[in-house]
Structure 1
Amino acid sequence: MRRTVWRGLLAVLVLAAAGAALVAWLNLRGESPVSDQRPASLDAAAVARGAYLARAGNCVGCHTERGGVGYAGGRRMDTPFGALYAPNLTPDAQTGLGSWSPSEFWRALHHGRGRDGRLLYPAFPYPSYTQVTREDSDALWAYLQSLPPVRRANTPHVLRFPYNQQAALAVWRALYFRAEDFQPDPNRSAEWNRGAYLVRGLGHCVACHAARNVLGASRGGFELGGGLIPMENWYAPSLAAAGETSVAAWPAADVVALLQTGVAPHGMATGPMAEVVYRSTQYLSEPDLKAMAGYLQALPQLPPAQARAPAAEPAVLRQGEQLYGQHCAKCHGEQGQGVAGIYPPLAGNRAVTLPASVNLVKSVLHGGFAPATAGNPRPYGMPPFAQQLNDAELAALLSYLRQAWGHQAAAVSLLDVQRAR
């Protein structure tokens, strides 16, 4: 009996050791030794290119605390597993990247590993940045090294057990991450490949526009198929579904306009996307914006939804129609037609009829605002109605919007409003 127990324990230990070895190998595969050598001086052209690439990646958006110095870190990012704090990217030698070499920086982008060898949490979107080329990584490093150094110690992450353990992170990476180079598609144009590189890599669009599993990894069979942004409770709609925010049928110029100015004849950037336009895409070159537009327009399309949502109660729709006439019709029109270039139409507006109503609820509660951009410096906005309408009234109004003018979206419940509020 005792011999059987010992054999069982030995088998468990062997399996555990084999599993640990496999996880370690999966985390180290493809890595090369890093060099700590730093160039004697910064190349001006590389710095300028790096500044542009940092804009393309919206690095300042995460690595700047509200009211803080740009790139000095400290911004809190809440996740289902605890709070993460963005690190200092300025070239301070003690608290920033001042001691990092280009090779060490490349390893962080490509392999998700810090200068000290520790695994990085994928809130830093290295699952996307792994496709960034070494040349672009070196330019980003040069730009960050050119910034004024800021002495700001990094705030430690506050994660629950076991998510605060490197071993748990190693298992996650073994399951969901593999470093890879961007591979151009030889059957596609140079413009399409440039767009794919920007959207999949530096733009890390999948970080928002994809559903996630219980461990925070992207899931879904369709690229950019949409999903709820964890903790922010904004729905990043599918970029591959005609009923959501696919731009396959748009004129290419309108896609460029949306990315460049935040507004287009068919839509307006609000919520988290407004910040992306404000801090990032408005600064990209016309060729790069056209490349991104072409890539997004060529995405394989999801099949259209077939089910029709049940109609809200007649009394709820009557109340919603009355509230619309009192609070909305003056700007958006009696038939939801809007005013071109000023107030967006609501009739036929996909933002109104998304499968998830959370964006609509939050916009009416807290106001809807496009970003201020060079192409649209004084955008029109919608004031918040959180103080004017109670939860039941908001639910009735939004249910009416989602079922008026031929819309067939699901009604908004009282619970939907309460969660958003």
Structure 2
Amino acid sequence: MKMVFGIVLALSVSPAAAETLVERGAYLVNSVMVCHNCHTPRGPQGLDMSRALSGGQTFDEPAFKVTGSNITPDKDTGIGNWTDAELKHLLASGIRPNGTKVAPIMPTEFYTVLTARDLDALAAYLRSVPAVRHETPAPEYKIPLKPETPTYAGKQAAEAELADKLARGRYLLTIAHCLECHTPEGPSAVHDFAAASGKGGRTFKGPWGESISPNITPDPVAGLGQWSDDEIKRAITQGIARDGHKLKPPMAYAGYATMTAQDLDAIVAFLRTLPPRG
């Protein structure tokens, strides 16, 4: 009887329940949230993973010039002297321990939805990565930063909500900050979330040349309305469009390729529910 009960109990435990905080944090950092895209140095051959998360590319925008910070546990140039509470507060609010606000290229407005467990997981994983000494330039703010409230963000999610497929897709779409890149900006570098969330049209320049974010709403002409689920997942994980042409960075296809099938299914299902934007 005990053996039978033990088997039944083991089958009733979800994979997530057996996942450690560090494992969950690794999945979030390396896959869903693709933190390497901004926080790991990038050279002609791509990301330099020998210096992973030690400070990345520079963003020279009309409103600011900032470089992705060193988020390894180095005590002098990274987050080694931060407490877990300070790190989690930064993620959910954009406020550093010294009270200053990070530039909006760091999508902390989207991270307001992070569950308490995922915040713990991110802190645990970032403590576990190798410390790399690498000082990044101080940020330069050219104009006052305007606060934004992205679509679907603003309220912390509860772990129990993620059992629902659409709620899980909304959560993943948000912490992956898809709408940050796929929503056009209006005056003063502020996203037009109210009228154009997911419409695409932002231009990104880098070693890849120039790329323009596509429309990811279900609009049948301008967006993904005619795409199959598999075509959308192929675009996310392989960078191949419906017509077969290769998509450009900065979309982090290699990171998204390691997402679970459950999470990819949830994201695609939720994308189908976005208001169409032609």
Q: TM-score, normalised by structure 1?
A: 0.53
Matches within 5 A, 1:104-119: 104-119=86-101
- 1:156 Cα deviation from its structure 2 partner: 1.4
Name the counterpart of 2:215.
238
Where in structure 1 do 4 or more consecutive aligned residues deviate above 6 Å?
A: none
Secondary structure of 1:145's counterpart equals helix
Name the counterpart of 2:180.
207
Secondary structure of 1:71's counterpart equals coil
Read off the aligned partner of 1:63 and give its amino acid letter: H
In structure 1, C-alpha distance between the alignment counterparts of 2:211 and 2:177, rounded to whole Å: 17
Name the counterpart of 2:165.
191
- 1:276 Cα deviation from its structure 2 partner: 1.4
Name the counterpart of 1:142.
124
Alignment of 1:66 with 2:42, yes or no, is: yes
In structure 1, C-alpha distance between the alignment counterparts of 2:273 and 2:22, rounded to whole Å: 33
Secondary structure of 2:252's counterpart equals helix
In structure 1, C-alpha distance between the alignment counterparts of 2:214 and 2:241, rounded to whole Å: 17
Unaligned 5+ residue runs, structure 2?
1-18
Q: Considering only aligned residues, what root-mean-square deviation do their CA atoms show, in Å?
A: 2.7
Name the counterpart of 2:239.
262
In structure 2, C-alpha distance between the alignment counterparts of 1:103 and 1:268, rounded to whole Å: 45
Secondary structure of 2:100's counterpart equals coil
Matches within 5 A, 1:123-202: 123-160=105-142, 163=143, 168-169=144-145, 172-173=146-147, 176-177=148-149, 180-182=154-156, 190-200=164-174, 202=175
- 1:231 Cα deviation from its structure 2 partner: 5.6
Higher mean C-alpha displacement, 132-141 vs 86-95: 132-141
In structure 1, C-alpha distance between the alignment counterparts of 2:231 and 2:211, rounded to whole Å: 24
In structure 1, C-alpha distance between the alignment counterparts of 2:117 and 2:163, rounded to whole Å: 21
Larger RCO: 1 or 2 (CA < 8 Å, sep 6+): 2
In structure 1, C-alpha distance between the alignment counterparts of 2:119 and 2:157, rounded to whole Å: 16
Q: Is the 8 A contact 1:228 1:235 kept in 2?
A: yes
Match of residue 266, structure 2, among 281, 291, 295: 291
In structure 2, C-alpha distance between the alignment counterparts of 1:47 and 1:214, rounded to whole Å: 40
Alignment of 1:218 with 2:191, yes or no, is: yes
Q: TM-score, normalised by structure 2?
A: 0.79
Unaligned 5+ residue runs, structure 1?
1-43, 304-421
In structure 2, C-alpha distance between the alignment counterparts of 1:296 and 1:276, rounded to whole Å: 18
CA distance 1:264–1:211, shift in 2 (3 Å): closer
Give the length in aligned residue pairs: 245
Read off the aligned partner of 2:96 and give its amino acid letter: G
In structure 1, C-alpha distance between the alignment counterparts of 2:156 and 2:273, rounded to whole Å: 18
Q: Is the 8 A contact 1:192 1:294 kept in 2?
A: yes
Match of residue 100, structure 1, among 63, 82, 85: 82
